């Protein structure tokens, strides 16, 4: 089948999907024609393309979308088993890469030269050999944007929990050391009038900034590769500064940058020494942007006030990791996008990426 015809089918399928959503939520049924058309096209195109979904728990909404026009193969192992993925990848035309397994030359070799499209089900693409995909001209999709709100919400939770010592407070109760006869007991950091720094100020950073607007902060400093639009700077009272200025002047720092060779280890001992002793560090991006040993030392020696992190270097974090023994850190197990709605939206965007990729169209969320 020609790419163009396949693309037409996909348009129908996507329309059909939204039509189904609309009728489920009780709206009027106005796209009956497109539904009919897509049903007519299913059989022929199903034979054309095979899609491997590498994780058994990818939400059904995505599988439904894909299976209307492609043959969908779903890996069954949990946790994902690399040999199963490599075995089932043979001969497929697209990969919905549902876990954070490395996607490298081994995978491309296992699949074969007919591979036409790949998508992650994440915003970050640090576990993908992007250069290799570029070399083979295989389009790569990812799923940013739909997770902005959920990740930003968790960032707010970590900021407040770290600044106001929630984890430590809980321990005080558990150990019968609730000593509220002290006036200066369990003092935390104010959010009001704080200068908030963003290391990376893209989609997620700006969604956090939007949430901060109710907290009467003093202003925002940020470092990014490219300055953001002037009207956004105005809206958020944000100023682009060099890294050293960011860490020296910020009361609260959000790490919201992708993991790249440039960002890896940027928050090391040298950086912590330059930060305020009252500073609160929040990491909602990737663990290795922070040198974890240096973070331990900085928190232990009170070089910074506290940290709230959703990501660590080496996930899962072992239960005996020394960070867990510190009172001034709150750690969550990489749950930034973990809500039903967000993960479902991510899966739908991933499926959409695949369908457009197979049709030779630009993906909904291209990663390069």
How far is it between the farthest Cα atoms of the chain? 77
Nearer to ligand NAG, 88 or 116 (CB): 88
Nearer to ligand NAG, 21 or 84 (CB): 84
28-47 residues near ligand NAG, rule: CB under 6 A: none
Among 32, 186, 218, 297, which residue interacts with ligand NAG (rule: CB under 6 A)?
218
> Any idea which residues carry the catalytic annotation?
334
Least separation in angstroms between residue 76's CB and ligand NAG is 9
Q: Which two tokens stand for residue 293?
A: 């040993």
Among 23, 37, 42, 195, which residue interacts with ligand NAG (rule: CB under 6 A)?
195
Nearer to ligand NAG, 1 or 218 (CB): 218
Q: Is 84 in the site for ligand NAG (CB under 6 A)?
A: yes
Among 77, 244, 260, 301, which residue interacts with ligand NAG (rule: CB under 6 A)?
77
Least separation in angstroms between residue 65's CB and ligand NAG is 26
Q: Which two tokens stand for residue 234?
A: 């105005």
Quote the CA–CA distance of 139 and 366 in Å, as a whole number. Answer: 7
Nearer to ligand NAG, 33 or 84 (CB): 84
* Beta-bridge partners for 119: 96, 141
Q: How many residues bind ligand NAG (CB under 6 A)?
A: 11
Instruction: Give the per-residue contact string, 108-137, with ligand NAG (x = CB under 6 A; - = no).
Output: ------------------------------
Nearer to ligand NAG, 90 or 232 (CB): 90
260-299 residues near ligand NAG, rule: CB under 6 A: 268-270
Nearer to ligand NAG, 77 or 237 (CB): 77
Among 83, 175, 176, 184, which residue interacts with ligand NAG (rule: CB under 6 A)?
83
CA 124 to mean position of chain CA atoms: 6
Least separation in angstroms between residue 83's CB and ligand NAG is 4
Least separation in angstroms between residue 86's CB and ligand NAG is 9
Q: Using an 8 Å Cβ cutoff, are 344 and 199 in contact? A: no
Among 21, 57, 87, 105, which residue interacts with ligand NAG (rule: CB under 6 A)?
87
Residues forming the site for ligand NAG (CB under 6 A): 77, 81, 83-84, 87, 193, 195, 218, 268-270
């Amino acid at each position: 089948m020609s790419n163009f015809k396949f693309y037409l089918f996909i348009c129908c399928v996507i329309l059909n999907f939204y039509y189904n959503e609309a009728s489920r939520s009780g709206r009027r049924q106005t796209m009956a024609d497109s539904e009919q058309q897509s049903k007519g096209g299913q059989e022929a195109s199903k034979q054309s393309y095979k899609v491997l979904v590498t994780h058994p728990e990818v939400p059904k909404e995505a599988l439904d979308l894909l299976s209307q026009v492609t043959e969908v193969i779903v890996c069954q192992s949990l946790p994902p088993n690399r040999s199963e993925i490599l075995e089932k990848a043979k001969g497929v035309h697209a990969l919905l890469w549902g876990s954070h397994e490395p996607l490298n030359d081994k995978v491309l070799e296992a699949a074969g030269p007919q591979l036409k499209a790949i998508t992650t089900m994440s915003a970050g693409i640090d576990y993908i050999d992007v250069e290799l995909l570029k070399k083979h001209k295989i389009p790569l999709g990812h799923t940013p944007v739909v997770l902005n709100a959920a990740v930003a919400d968790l960032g707010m939770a970590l900021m407040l929990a770290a600044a106001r010592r929630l984890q430590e407070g809980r321990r005080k109760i558990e150990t019968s050391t609730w000593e509220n006869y002290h006036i200066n007991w369990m003092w935390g950091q104010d959010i009001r009038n704080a200068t908030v720094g963003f290391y990376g100020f893209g989609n997620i950073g700006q969604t956090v900034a939007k949430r901060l607007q109710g907290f009467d902060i003093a202003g925002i400093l940020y470092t990014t590769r490219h300055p953001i639009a002037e009207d956004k700077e105005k809206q958020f009272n944000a100023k682009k500064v060099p890294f050293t200025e960011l860490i020296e002047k910020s009361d609260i720092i959000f790490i919201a940058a992708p993991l790249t060779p440039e960002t890896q280890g940027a928050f090391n001992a040298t950086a912590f020494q330059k930060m305020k002793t009252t500073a609160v560090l929040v990491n909602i991006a990737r663990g290795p942007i922070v040198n974890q040993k240096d973070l331990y030392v900085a928190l232990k020696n009170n070089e910074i006030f506290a940290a709230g992190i959703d990501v660590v270097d080496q996930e899962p974090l072992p239960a005996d990791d020394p960070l867990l023994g510190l009172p001034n850190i709150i750690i969550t197990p990489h749950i930034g996008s973990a809500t039903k709605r967000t993960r479902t939206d991510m899966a739908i965007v991933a499926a959409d990426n695949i369908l457009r990729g197979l049709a030779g169209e630009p993906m909904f969320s291209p990663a390069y």
